[in-house]
Structure 1
Amino acid sequence: MQKKRIRKEYQLSAKSPSMVWGLIGEASGLQKWIADYVDVDNENSFVFTWGEEWTEHHSITFCVLDKKKNEYIRFRADDEECPEAYMEMRIEKSELTGSLTLVVTDYAEPDETEALEDIWDNNIERLHRISGI
């Protein structure tokens, strides 16, 4: 089955792409808002874990497909079967206002797109709470 691409844009109060990069491009930053634990398996592989490691938990390994510091990072889950599916977080700066937007691209089964959008909305809400951006 073909997955559906979703794209969400979130306004940020941060003025510095490098501040946002620390939260989307580094394991320590991702661990603050997207998963309970994020470990770097190697330079191009991150392990996201939800739940406590010593009890019931769920882990997914994501390989970094591409990244450009202070601009974007694109991941693909190791167990992803859909060849075109990926997860990307991109920092865009408005030339008019100078404000930053986090653009999230992800893929979901057609009947799961609303649930995935809700997950991203909740993640971004947590990002705003913990960082103030």
Structure 2
Amino acid sequence: MEYVIHSSAELLFTFLTEPSGLSEWFCDDVNIRHGIYTFLWDGSQQQAKELKIIPEKIARFQWVEKSDGSYFEFRIEKDDLTGDISLIITDFAENAEERNSSKLLWDSQIDKLLHVMGAYF
């Protein structure tokens, strides 16, 4: 999934990897310890392991309870011609229904991210 974000790569990366940024659009709260992100939503929690971080470019995570090699990734790319920043999200789904549900969830979350960042034009 790809989304154009009217922001700098630096600011966007902060919202994708830092507790203060993530808690504004992705979850209610998040704690990071030894590369494990503990996300809190409505009293429940999920943990994700940091797999790869390249500042202002890539943040890749794997849900701790998943051991099938799947991951979710935020990739930031800048168009050389226009200078536009794109956020590319990679996520895994087991079937078409799960894929559609995941897309709707990401669309909603990214809409929230854009509002929080003031990245709408």
Q: TM-score range by the shorter chain?
A: over 0.9
Distance 2:6 2:37 in 1: 27
Distance 2:67 2:36 in 1: 17
Q: How does 1:1-133 map to 2 (within 5 A)?
A: 8-14=1-7, 16-40=8-32, 42-51=33-42, 57-83=43-69, 85-110=70-95, 111-133=97-119
1:25–1:69 contact (8 Å) kept in structure 2: no
Q: Note the C-alpha offset of 1:108.
A: 1.6
More contact order relative to length (CA 8 Å, sep ≥ 6): 1
Q: Which runs of 5+ in 2 are unaligned?
A: none
Distance 1:27 1:80 in 2: 22
Q: Secondary structure at the match of 1:124?
A: helix
Distance 1:9 1:101 in 2: 7
Q: Secondary structure at the match of 1:120?
A: helix
Size of the alignment, in residue pairs?
118
- Residue range with higher mean Cα deviation, 107-116 or 92-101: 107-116
Distance 1:79 1:126 in 2: 26
For 1:46, the aligned partner's letter is: Y
TM-score (norm 1): 0.85
For 1:96, the aligned partner's letter is: L
For 2:72, the aligned partner's letter is: M
Identity of aligned residues (%): 30
RMSD (Å) for aligned C-alpha atoms: 1.0
Q: Secondary structure at the match of 1:117?
A: helix
| Structure with higher strand content | 1
Q: Note the C-alpha offset of 1:58.
A: 2.0
